[in-house]
Amino acid sequence: MKVSTENLGNCQTVFTIEAEASESDKSLDEAYHHLVNEVSIPGFRKGKAPRAILVQHIGKKNLLEEALEYLIPQLYKQAIESQEIDPLARPEIEIIQTEPLVFKAIVSLKPEVKLGDYHSIRLEPGPVIKIAKKEVTAAMEEFRGRQGAWVPAGRLVELGDLVTIDIEANVDGGPWLNHKDVLYEVDKDSHSPVPGFASHLQGAEKNKERTFSLNIPDDYPIKEMCGKEGIFKVTVTEIKEKQLPELDDELAQSAGYDNLADMRKKVAVDLRAKAEARNRLELRQKALDALVESSEVNYPPILEDEEITGLLRDEAQRLGFRELGDYLKKTSKTEEELKQELRPIAKKRLIQGLVLGKLAEEEKIEISSSEVDNKVDEIANDAEDKEKARQFFSLPQVRQSIEQSLHTQKTMDRLLQIAIGNVENTTKGE
């Protein structure tokens, strides 16, 4: 075997491999012994036909293709071992010629990450979070609103009502919607079924048909309807308004507080904790952005392609599509178009992940089994069926996912500690 290598850049190397005559002969012999036991040839028992007869029966090309199935992986393995290369993924193989065999193998190598001087990153921790009384009041009113009950209203429709409607709609003279007894919340900001629909229900009288037209926006999800006019016929058959409970000790106690004063105090504490968490997330992202900006990252294209494929799959599943093809039909875009749209996002995520991985290695960040156990318990305790949740989150693949998430969080926290100057004199890995 003869091997030559060429560095393609982007963590890729190409091997040009040429087989020796003896290696080709051996693989042809192996292919013959495999096929002669698989192929039925008139006049011969399986495994007994001479090689020349087998070639006459199946053709030289088929024997050669079978031989290459053995020879190419074997020579490729010998080549990477001789060069002491650890491939990241399966190679791209290009056969140059078959007799004698010459082929190229494009090999993707592990990413190369050179971190910038992350110990010099400095961020201001931000001001002390203070929660205003009006924020507490707004949060309590929001809770009160969630506890309200819908009751019949003997009046015309107003914004905020919950109505039952019969609806017919046509677009360009063709039928579009035809539904009865549809529950609809009259929210002026609603875009369902099209923006402005809710506002046209204001002042509607029960059991009296109302007809109106609306222009369908250019960015409407159903592409063929964009920019057209829709004619709507709507009859409101029931009108309900939300009846809110009194904001008093009884309501507070129903939510698990001692009284209304206790509720105000704990809501304020909760709002402050959430604001501090948001502030911390923003600081962590700023620290990560600074680290990425100062670092050098090189990786093979296959990693970016895999990241894009993952994003596509996640988006399809999020929208309820089991098959990527069904999702593509819904978007009216080709897979390549979607991939190009997602490439900048995938590239950013990939680089951030590689940089964080290198930082974790430098700082010796590790997650113990007990840390994963504690997280599983925390998640399970918030579930309705705690035992079932604990069983699910204890599955090996789920535990691994939790461990990876905790590892990323811990690495980001470490970076933030450095950035706000809390660990200037600490030793790595402490």
Cis peptide before 221 (omega within 30 of 0): no
- Whole-number pLDDT of residue 153: 95
Contact call for residues 346 and 311 (beta carbons, < 8 A): yes
- Across residues 395-416, what is the average pLDDT? 94
Instruction: Give yes or no for residue 36 having a pLDDT over 90.
Output: no
- Whole-number pLDDT of residue 184: 97
Q: Which residues pair with 4 in a beta bridge?
A: 16
Query: What type of residue is 388?
Result: K
- Whole-number pLDDT of residue 368: 94
CATH fold for the domain made of 149-243 = Chitinase A; domain 3 (3.10.50)
Taking the alpha carbons at both ends of the chain, their separation in whole angstroms is 50
- Whole-number pLDDT of residue 202: 95
Give the dihedral of Cα atoms 217, 338, 317, 411; nearest 10 deg: -110
The percent of residues in the chain predicted with pLDDT above 90, rounded, is 60
Phi/psi for 215 (5° steps) reads -80, 130
- Whole-number pLDDT of residue 429: 40
Cis peptide before 195 (omega within 30 of 0): no
Interatomic CA distance for residues 237 and 254, integer angstroms:
34
- Across residues 263-289, what is the average pLDDT? 95
CATH fold for the domain made of 253-419 = Trigger factor, domain 2 (1.10.3120)
How does residue 430 score in pLDDT terms, banded at 50, 70 and 90?
A: very low
Please give the class, per CATH, of domain 2-110.
alpha beta
- Whole-number pLDDT of residue 428: 41
Element (DSSP H or E) covering residue 185: strand 174-185
Q: What is the pLDDT of residues 45-99, one digit of tens each?
A: 777 788 788 777 787 777 777 778 888 888 899 899 888 888 998 999 999 988 7
Instruction: Give yes or no for residue 20 having a pLDDT over 70.
Output: yes
Higher-confidence residue of 178 and 326: namely 178
**DSSP secondary structure of 119-144:** GG------PPP---HHHHHHHHHHHH
**283 token code pair:** 């600081």
Contact call for residues 108 and 11 (beta carbons, < 8 A): yes
How does residue 38 score in pLDDT terms, banded at 50, 70 and 90?
A: confident
Nearest residue to 93 via CA among 110, 67, 73, 65? 73
Interatomic CA distance for residues 252 and 141, integer angstroms:
12
Q: What is the largest CA-CA distance in the chain?
A: 98
How does residue 316 score in pLDDT terms, banded at 50, 70 and 90?
A: confident
Instruction: Give yes or no for residue 396 having a pLDDT over 50.
Output: yes
Helix (H, G, I), strand (E, B) or coil at 113: strand
Question: Minimum mean pLDDT among 64-73, 98-107, 248-257: which range?
Answer: 64-73
Interatomic CA distance for residues 33 and 27, integer angstroms:
10
- Whole-number pLDDT of residue 425: 40
Question: Minimum mean pLDDT among 83-92, 185-194, 325-334, 417-426: which range?
Answer: 417-426
Instruction: Give yes or no for residue 427 having a pLDDT over 60.
Output: no
Residue pointed to by tokens 């206790």: 262
Instruction: Give yes or no for residue 121 having a pLDDT over 70.
Output: yes
Higher-confidence residue of 207 and 64: namely 207
Q: Which residues pair with 36 in a beta bridge?
A: none
Instruction: Give yes or no for residue 424 having a pLDDT over 60.
Output: no
Handedness of CA 58, 61, 63, 66 (dihedral sign): negative
Instruction: Give yes or no for residue 241 having a pLDDT over 60.
Output: yes
- Whole-number pLDDT of residue 422: 60
Please list the helix, strand and coil fractions of the chain in percent, rounded to the nearest 5, in that order.
50, 20, 30
Residue pointed to by tokens 């005559």: 21
Average pLDDT score, the chain: 89
- Whole-number pLDDT of residue 71: 86
- Whole-number pLDDT of residue 23: 79
Instruction: Give yes or no for residue 263 having a pLDDT over 50.
Output: yes
- Whole-number pLDDT of residue 173: 82
The H helix count followed by the E strand count for the chain is 12, 11
How does residue 360 score in pLDDT terms, banded at 50, 70 and 90?
A: very high
Q: Where are the domains of the chain?
A: 2-110, 149-243, 253-419
Interatomic CA distance for residues 133 and 137, integer angstroms:
6
Burial of 414 (0-12, 13-18, 19+ CB in 10 A): buried
Residue count of the chain: 430
Phi/psi for 311 (5° steps) reads -60, -45
